Amino acid sequence: MTRADIVCTDVSKQFGDLETVETVTLTFAAGKTTALVGPSGCGKSTLLRMIAGLEVPTCGSIRIGMHTPQELAKRGTLAMAFQDPSLLPWRTVRGNIALGAMLARKPANGVDDLIRLVGLDGFADHRPAELSGGMRQRVAIARALVSRPEVLLLDEPFAAVDAITRARLNAELPALWRDTTTVLVTHAVIESVLLADRVIVLSQRPARIVADIAIVLDGPRNEAMTRTTPFKNLCDEVLTALEDAT
């Protein structure tokens, strides 16, 4: 399958009388990383779940190329890492990661490489109950990446990870999803600017688009980049939009 844009057209979502997303029209460019930021509870994760096909829009439509999200999920070309790792307690670290490939009906290649990349050397045969919350989250990230999906959806993937590991993952993991159509939900402004090609700022619930910021930076995206003036200026732009959003 050729990578395709994710096109949201007049998408709204209500749960009973509660409206969480209001008339969002947005195209996520194929092969690029887009970050969604906004106030807590604004509807970011709900929008992500609709893109994943886990929630159905009350109004509007979501298409990925010629397909619905549900069709892509069935084809094994869409993967998501949730805030809750949702690991199978009877499977080891290796087994939980390999499950991502099995569900996508793809060979489980590179599992041990991913284990090393997310910093879980020595824990491949451990079960989730033996891991910290941050370690379980790293397993979930590796599980989403192992199938090499066309569309990758990440909901606060590093929230439970310690600061040092988070910085390392921010530096090393994006190489694995380069050229993948990636949507990242995060509260961390620095992380959004460091990882994304574009940052969408959403308003208080119900979520509406208040800013669409292109992230154009010269040089490698790394820790040193975060100390440059252009990087800080972009962070300030996102922060200003967030202040307007509240």
* DSSP assignment of 31-86: T-EEEEE-STTSSHHHHHHHHTTSS--SEEEEEETTB-HHHHHHHT-EEEE-SS--
The helix or strand, by DSSP H or E, that contains position 13, with its residue range, turns out to be strand 6-15
* pLDDT, position 1: 46
Rounded average pLDDT over 104-110: 83
Does the pLDDT of residue 153 top 70, yes or no?
yes
What does the block give as tokens for 141? 């990230």
Among 103, 121, 148, the domain boundary falls at 148
What CATH number is associated with residue 240? 3.40.50.300
Q: How far is CA 110 from CA 51, 77, 87, 165, in A?
A: 27, 17, 19, 21
Q: Are residues 8 and 32 in the same domain?
A: yes
Q: Are residues 114 and 197 in the same domain?
A: no
Q: Are residues 42 and 72 in the same domain?
A: yes
Q: Are residues 209 and 175 in the same domain?
A: yes
Band (59; pLDDT cuts 50, 70, 90): very high
Among 148, 164, 190, the domain boundary falls at 148
Q: Are residues 60 and 182 in the same domain?
A: yes
Q: Are residues 55 and 156 in the same domain?
A: yes
Q: How far is CA 144 from CA 31, 117, 202, 228, in A?
A: 16, 14, 25, 32
DSSP helix/strand/coil, 161: coil
* pLDDT, position 2: 57
Per-residue pLDDT reduced to its tens digit, 186-217: 988 999 999 999 999 999 999 999 999 999 98
Q: Are residues 52 and 161 in the same domain?
A: yes
* pLDDT, position 98: 92
Q: Are residues 159 and 210 in the same domain?
A: yes
Q: Are residues 27 and 83 in the same domain?
A: no
Q: Are residues 136 and 162 in the same domain?
A: no
Higher pLDDT: 176 or 203? It is 203
Handedness of CA 121, 126, 128, 130 (dihedral sign): negative
Per-residue pLDDT reduced to its tens digit, 113-134: 899 888 889 999 999 999 988 8
What does the block give as tokens for 179? 């050229």
Number of domains in the chain: 2
Range of the domain at 200: 1-77+151-246
Rounded average pLDDT over 140-165: 84
How far is 182 from 69, CA to CA, in rounded Å?
Answer: 14
Among 116, 131, 148, the domain boundary falls at 148
Q: Are residues 70 and 167 in the same domain?
A: yes
Q: Are residues 123 and 91 in the same domain?
A: yes
Q: By mean pLDDT, which of 7-11, 12-16, 42-46, 101-105 is the weakest?
A: 101-105
Rounded average pLDDT over 88-102: 92
